[in-house]
Amino acid sequence: MISAILTDISQLINITLVFSTSLILTAMGGIHSERSGVVNIGLEGLMMSGAFAAAVSAYFLEQAGWGIWGAWMGLVAAALFGAFFALLHAVASVTFKADQVVSGVVINLLAAGLTVYLVKVLFEGAGETKTLHAAVFSKVSIPVLADIPYVGYAFFQAYPTTYLAILIVLFTYFLLWKTRFGLRLRSVGENPGAADTLGIHVQVIRYIGVMISGAYAGLGGATIALTTTANYSHNTISGQGFIAIASMIFGKWHPFGALGAALLFGMATGLKNFIQLFPWAKMIPTEFIFMIPYILTILVLAGAVGKATPPAALGQPYDPAKR
């Protein structure tokens, strides 16, 4: 009995890590953008651009005989393409002071249209990329640790991208809270006027913040295309970007908070696939499980589950002339 429960739990943790990885990475991206004061509704589109770039480059590198290195290069391509897409958001919202929400919506619409268009151009009109066989990540077992009963399967048999995501969380915390650059990025999001007075280039920092968000969101999208789906189509990314936004808010714009929230939401998604295993869980319709992240976000913002305070200058274009 106990061993059955422990097996269930260890399987649930394992599957939670799978579904959380893309959310963790994308939420870290969101933190970079929003801590610098730029709202990023476009995370969904940035994930699409990353998933697309990863699936396409991995496929062509696979054809060229790169094997698993094609997948690793796919990650690099995803980060670069995501950063490029985010550059559009930065140009519109930082340089031209466009409404940041409108600009983010544009990123979502543009990515949805352009990626599917390009897939059709590259794959003779097919709506999805060809399935990856060699250039795709499989789960790795960490020697010794993976042999620990229950715990080993739960935590140490995961996709390499999951470990990468955890490393990026630690790096994000280090970068934003322990370095001069991080202090500057956060100050620009809180009080750009004061930061400017101290000689910080507000607009440059915001460009960097937004582009990092694109790179990480691109990686987030790529982890889906290179692990669970092994290709890219119009519905590879369907709402994960918005759950990543939810994770960021739930985690109060802090890397560890967002990590926790992404794990929680990843578990909610995992439960759907897992529901056959628990007789009691069958009573909850899957539609309601899908709603959890979105309802929780509203409750958090309403102050029902701890108050979240966004960066003070979030959403405000900075105009030095108006200081």
Nearer to another protein, 169 or 245 (CB): 245
What are the tokens at 149?
A: 């009963």
How far apart are CB 234 and another protein at their closest, in Å?
8
Binding of another protein at residue 295 (CB under 8 A)? yes
DSSP secondary structure letters along 84-104: HHHHHHHIIIIIS---HHHHH
CA distance 241 to 46: 8
| CA atoms within 13 Å, Cβ hemisphere of 87 | 7
Helix (H) or strand (E) holding 209: helix 202-223
- Phi and psi at residue 158, to the nearest 5°: -135, 170
Nearer to another protein, 114 or 166 (CB): 114
At 140 the three-state DSSP class reads: strand
Binding of another protein at residue 301 (CB under 8 A)? yes
Nearer to another protein, 30 or 160 (CB): 30
Binding of another protein at residue 95 (CB under 8 A)? yes
Helix pair angle (100-122, 68-90), 10° resolution: 140
What are the tokens at 220?
A: 């987030």
Nearer to another protein, 131 or 235 (CB): 235
CA distance 58 to 176: 31
CA distance 27 to 20: 10
Binding of another protein at residue 302 (CB under 8 A)? yes
Question: Looking at 152, 182, 239, 260, which residue binds another protein (CB under 8 A)?
Answer: 239
Nearer to another protein, 23 or 39 (CB): 39
Question: Looking at 76, 80, 87, 98, which residue binds another protein (CB under 8 A)?
Answer: 98
How far apart are CB 136 and another protein at their closest, in Å?
23
Segment 104-163, which members bind another protein (CB under 8 A)?
105-106, 108-110, 112-114, 116-118, 120-121, 125
Please report, as a single letter, which amino acid is at residue 100. Q
How far apart are CB 139 and another protein at their closest, in Å?
27
CA distance 161 to 63: 22
Return residues touching another protein (CB under 8 A).
39, 41, 88, 91-92, 95-99, 101-103, 105-106, 108-110, 112-114, 116-118, 120-121, 125, 235, 238-239, 242, 245-246, 249, 285, 287-288, 290-291, 294-295, 297-298, 301-303
